[in-house]
Amino acid sequence: MTPASIEDYREAARRRVPHFLFEYVDGGSYAETTLARNIDDLRAVALRQRVLRDVSSIDLSTSLFGQSLAMPVALAPVGLAGLLARRGETQAVRAAEAAGVPFCLSTVSACPIAEVKAAASQPFWFQLYMIRDRAFMRDLLAKAREAGCSTLVFTVDLPVPGSRYRDRRSGLAAAPGLGASLRRAGQVMARPGWAWDVAVNGRPLSLGNVAPLLGPRSGLEDFFAWMGRNFDASVTWDDLDFIRSEWTGPLIIKGVLDVDDAVRAADLGADGLVVSNHGGRQLDGVRSGAACLPAIAAAVGDRLTVLADGGVRSGLDVVRMLALGAKGVMLGRAWAFALAGGGQAGVAHMLQLMAAEMRVAMALTGVTRIADIGPDCIDRG
């Protein structure tokens, strides 16, 4: 059966990849309250249905950071995404290019920057965490520049990793030892299609950009231990000077929920920000991106480009985010599920679904251009 929605791709991913990988993509932190809010709050946004407005020609195109896009979405950075399908990030970047939208490579991707560059024909975005080893960060940024990456997405809401219970229960983030390794091996054996496609034919199974630090024989438990040791909890706004000294292109600050933080980002010269709670994977109990977006867009939307993520599961949700004040939307789990369930073709089809659903939503709200989607499209009751 051909998936008809993101939820269908989620189910396809659940059936195809090992349990520990599905739980990693699907889960959030603690009780997953914020994860649920991201979805529920966005779905609760009521749009105004308008009629008899000549919506015979719908234009989804827009421009972000000097780049012309076929529609106002980008594939957000997703760690370990390259393990969801064979050399997964290379498949995703090709699908994004074909659809005319940006792809953002995570610092903790399976495929290194150079491999993704070889698969791409156009510049892609790169995401960076603040890491204790500044020399390593300089090296990563140099590789991103050499690869022609056009835009840097600097994630600021992960000074320490969140408590993700699902990862511990599944064995992904369990303490090193034979027990956890056997649990994961059993889950791999239960997914022979994935095992052949990825575990056998998709090697090396490493975290490409950080593999030099982890060593050639490192496993997933070494990666999580490295994250705990090397993410820099002492980072402050002053550290943006370091980033700016190493990166001259567009800079997007990802992980902003507070208006004061958004103003600070604008004051320091960021080109954009992403209203995001890391997909509900960091501090549980915070408000959703949809709830925080309008106030942030009102405060800084005329000074920098406001993007948003969190809970987006359809093209209708993209339109809702735009109506709340975003100029573009970053898709995370949507493309991860599609990649896991259908590879490059799955990601391409997911983007086609998004575009088709956006056209329907725009037609029924009486708008024909992305620039026309705004607060007037929301039904306040």
Report the alpha-carbon distance of residue 255 to residue 267 in Å, rounded.
Answer: 16
Is 278 one of the catalytic residues? yes
- CB-based burial label for 9 (10 Å; 0-12, 13-18, 19+): buried
204: preceding bond cis by omega (within 30 degrees): yes
Which tokens is 24 given?
Answer: 């990693």
Which tokens is 181 given?
Answer: 């390794």
Say if CB 114 and CB 213 are below 8 A apart. Answer: no
Report the alpha-carbon distance of residue 121 to residue 57 in Å, rounded.
Answer: 30
For residue 143, count other CB atoms closer than 10 A to its CB: 16
Say if CB 12 and CB 342 are below 8 A apart. Answer: yes
Helix extents (H) in 57-100? 88-99
Q: How many residues does the chain have?
A: 381
Exactly one of 19, 183, 254, 278 is catalytic; which is it? 278
Q: In what side-by-side order are the strands of the sheet with 125-129?
A: 73-75, 328-331, 305-308, 272-275, 251-256, 152-155, 125-129, 104-105
Say if CB 45 and CB 37 are below 8 A apart. Answer: no
Say if CB 68 and CB 313 are below 8 A apart. Answer: no
Q: Token match 């054996």: residue?
A: 189
Which tokens is 31 given?
Answer: 């009780």
Which tokens is 340 given?
Answer: 């896991």
Point out the residues that are catalytic.
278
